[in-house]
């Protein structure tokens, strides 16, 4: 259902329901949210890379469960999962191939950096089922803008990776055989950066309109041991050894 393993400082998290096109059952959505939150507070993790097994990334909500799960419970789990991009203090990267529809697009919108293969497809297809993408809408708006999110929600149309890149939902489109190497390389590079600076930066991104908080975060980072080490490493022309990385 979900697998994870730590390689260096990169936590690889894989959706593993290929027989269901990695549809988000209640159990899978809950476990994914728990895994991401645990990684966010784990000093050994410097970055998270979300991938999927099989031919597609994620087909969205598991419609086969409808009628067997309580809407309130499902809503609570989805609210936690689809706000992870705003809550995590570790960078979340996604490598997307095949379909990423409805909730799958919601996961992509929550990732901080997204790689996709050319054949990957996206879409807010909920309207076709008589539903609206309520819980993923905020993340999609943050990724593509309000007017584009509205158009995609109303039309329910499916669109390709190059179009997703033009909207800002996807950052880099690369051939399928280069998808994982490029995503893994980016995750490793990011995981080498100061955890303290990244955490403060992600917090700032979510609240950057608050000038007082921005100044407080900047002061905190500039007083940190990581910043002192970064300056020393730059002057001494050597790789930094971040004090905040757990040994």
Residue 222 lies in a domain: yes
Is 104 part of a structural domain of the chain? yes
Residue 53 lies inside a defined structural domain of this protein: yes
Q: Are 121 and 220 in the same domain?
A: no
Q: Are residues 211 and 94 in the same domain?
A: no
**Average of per-residue pLDDT across 147-172:** 98
Considering the domain architecture, whether residues 12 and 60 belong to the same structural domain is answered as yes
pLDDT digits (tens, 9 = 90+) for 172-212: 999 999 999 999 999 999 999 999 999 999 998 887 655 56
Q: Does residue 126 carry a catalytic annotation?
A: yes
pLDDT at 216 over 90: no
Q: Say whether both 147 and 176 belong to one domain.
A: yes
Q: Are residues 11 and 52 in the same domain?
A: yes
Question: Does the residue 178 lie in any domain?
Answer: yes
Write the CB contacts of 149 (distance below 8 Å, at least 6 apart in sequence).
124, 137, 140, 141
Domain residues for the domain of 208 are: 195-236
Q: At what angle do helices 26-40 and 71-81 cross, to 10 degrees?
A: 30
Q: Is the same domain home to 14 and 68?
A: yes
Is residue 85 a part of any domain in this protein?
A: yes
For tokens 């919108």, the residue is 109
Model confidence at 246: pLDDT above 70: no
Please count the other Cβ atoms lying within 10 Å of the Cβ belonging to residue 199: 18
The predicted pLDDT at position 221 comes to: 87
pLDDT for the residue numbered 208: 66
Model confidence pTM above 0.85:
yes
Which residue among 126, 178, 184, 212 is the active-site one? 126
Task: Let me know whether 63 and 155 are in one domain.
Answer: yes
Q: In angstroms, what CA-CA distances link 43 with 12, 132, 136, 247?
A: 15, 37, 28, 9
Pair 101, 162 in one domain: yes
Q: How does pLDDT run across 29-53, given as a tens digit for each residue?
A: 999 999 999 999 999 999 999 999 9
8 and 22 co-located in one domain = yes
Per cent of the chain over pLDDT 90 is: 85
Model confidence band, residue 123 (pLDDT cutoffs 50, 70, 90) = very high
246, part of any domain: no
Query: How many of the other CB atoms lie within 10 Å of CB of 128?
Result: 13
Q: How many domains does the chain have?
A: 2
Residue 157, pLDDT score: 98
């Amino acid at each position: 259902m979900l697998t994870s393993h730590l390689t260096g400082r990169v936590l690889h998290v894989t959706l593993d329901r290929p027989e269901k096109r990695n549809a988000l059952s209640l159990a899978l959505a809950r476990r994914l949210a728990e895994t991401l939150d645990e990684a966010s507070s784990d000093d050994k993790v410097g970055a998270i890379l979300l991938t999927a097994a099989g031919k597609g990334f994620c087909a969205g909500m598991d419609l086969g469960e409808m009628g067997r799960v309580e809407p309130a419970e499902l809503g609570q789990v989805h609210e936690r999962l689809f706000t992870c991009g705003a809550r995590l203090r570790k960078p979340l990267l996604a490598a997307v191939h095949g379909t990423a529809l409805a909730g799958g697009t919601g996961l992509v919108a929550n990732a901080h950096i997204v790689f996709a293969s050319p054949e990957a497809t996206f879409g807010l297809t909920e309207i076709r089922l008589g539903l609206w993408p309520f819980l993923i809408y905020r993340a999609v708006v943050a990724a593509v803008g309000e007017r584009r999110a509205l158009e995609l929600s109303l039309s329910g149309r499916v669109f390709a990776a190059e179009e997703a890149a033009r909207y800002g939902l996807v950052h880099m489109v690369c051939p399928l055989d280069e998808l994982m190497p490029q995503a893994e390389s980016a995750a490793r590079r990011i995981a080498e950066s100061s955890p303290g600076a990244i955490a403060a930066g992600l917090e700032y991104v979510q609240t950057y309109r608050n000038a007082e908080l921005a100044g407080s975060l900047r002061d905190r980072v500039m007083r940190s041991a990581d910043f002192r080490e970064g300056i020393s490493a730059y002057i001494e022309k050597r790789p930094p050894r971040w004090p905040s990385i757990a040994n």
